[in-house]
A = this chain, B = another copy of it.
Amino acid sequence: MKNNILLLIFCGIVSQVWSQPTSQPSFVSPEVHPDGKVSFRLWAPKADEVKLNAQFEKAPLAMQKDDRGVWSVTVSAVKPDMYPYAFNVDGIQVADPKNSAIFPNEGFQNSILEVTGNSPLVHTLKNVPHGTVAYRYYHSPELGIRPAVIYTPPGYEENPKKKYPVLYLLHGTTDTEETWSKVGRANIILDNLIAEGKAEPMIIVMPYGRAYPKISKSAGSLRNWDNLQEFKTDFFNNLMPFVEKSYRTKPDKDSRAIAGFSGGGGTTLFLGLNNLDKFSFVCGFAPGMLENEFERNNAGAFANPQQTNKMLKLFWIGVGKDDGLYPVNLKFMEVLKQKNIKHETLISEGGHTWMNCKLYLATIAQKLFK
């Protein structure tokens, strides 16, 4: 910590002036009330207008300033879930400084509101055996030192002979390797499903989806062609060998799945459907795609539908009715039907959100490796 106000709190001693002294009043944000209403608060005495942008609301909500300079709004009970939100302060999007639950992202700042409700949800942290979320590095000759977040299920350390199937799980464009655990709660969802006997214990590999620095961070969607090529090279040459060397994996295609959201969903289909010898399970979560790229990006699966159906144990696509990608996903499903390529679909409520990502993961996790 390095703010005077904090030093004052800690020790009653004021050090050098680094940031301007503040007289921020004490308050909590977000505050989930017992009746399910939620209050959001931000100290912004000089702001002219502060709004709340929360993914449980279709439009920004006006906030009111009190005489301490604290803006606030209380919203009526929202459906239990985890929601990204931010404050809009005179046009600037600001995460909630009082909330350490941050949405890992390279393009915007959001905080996470968790509303648990009366009974735990599939992503609620419960007192069940917990797996481990490990932050690892691997080396790519082309891209340098790359991060990956890797979940091992409860019991992994205690059963040193046991081998596990692997789900590769890709984030969306501008997300990072941390987004699936921190916003998608992949680890907690699996902990809970494994505890209930609903999912097979599995390793989940959550890599960083942009082939940076070869592909710039401002180069658009992860499923753009150049990123697909560079990411594919890194995936098969470096990431997968690192995982299979470092973890006790079952190294056969029936023990390997790939899934991903949005731009990472497009990447998932490209990697999965063109490498049917490596993956028996391919799942797109609101996958990013363009109609004029269907044939090129999915050539491996489209070439011989009968063979594709034989090779894939699960080909799954989920998308929300309010998602901007809903129309193109419907078109893609039409094409699959025309080509007689077997697939399962989940058309959910809602839009292009991480609330839906959690639903999709919880759904497919119960279908994998069975």
Q: Which residues of A approach B to under 8 Å, CB–CB?
A: 1-3, 6-7, 9-20, 26, 28, 42-47, 53, 55, 58-60, 84, 88-95, 97-100, 102, 104-109, 125-127, 130, 132-137, 139, 145, 157, 160, 172-176, 181, 187, 217-218, 220-221, 223, 246, 262-263, 288-290, 322-325, 327-328, 351-353
CA distance in complex: A217, B327 (Å): 46
Whether the Cβ atoms of B263 and A324 lie closer than 8 Å is: no
Task: Give, as a whole number of angstroms, the nearest-CB distance from A194 to chain B.
Answer: 14
Task: Give, as a whole number of angstroms, the nearest-CB distance from A260 to chain B.
Answer: 13
Nearest 10 Cβ contacts at the A-B interface: A15-B324, A133-B135, A46-B91, A13-B324, A10-B221, A130-B137, A100-B106, A46-B90, A7-B324, A19-B53
Please pick, from B19, B26, B100, B327, the residue contacting A60 in the complex, using a CB distance under 8 A. B19
Whether the Cβ atoms of B220 and A16 lie closer than 8 Å is: no
8 additional A-B residue pairs with CB within 8 Å, beyond A10-B221, A10-B325, A127-B139: A1-B262, A1-B352, A2-B352, A3-B107, A7-B352, A46-B92, A89-B89, A132-B134
Whether the Cβ atoms of A91 and B9 lie closer than 8 Å is: no
Residues of B contacting A246 with CB < 8 Å? 157
CA distance in complex: A327, B93 (Å): 40
Task: Give, as a whole number of angstroms, the nearest-CB distance from A161 to chain B.
Answer: 11
Contacts A1-B107, A104-B100, A325-B11: A95 and B92 contacting too (C-beta < 8 A)?
A: no
Please pick, from B19, B88, B109, B327, the residue contacting A19 in the complex, using a CB distance under 8 A. B88
Whether the Cβ atoms of A91 and B19 lie closer than 8 Å is: no
Whether the Cβ atoms of A220 and B10 lie closer than 8 Å is: yes
- Between A and B, 25 residue pairs with Cβ closer than 8 Å are A1-B174, A3-B108, A6-B174, A7-B324, A7-B352, A9-B173, A10-B325, A11-B289, A11-B324, A13-B327, A28-B217, A43-B92, A44-B90, A44-B91, A46-B91, A89-B90, A92-B94, A93-B97, A99-B106, A100-B105, A125-B145, A127-B139, A130-B136, A133-B135, A133-B136
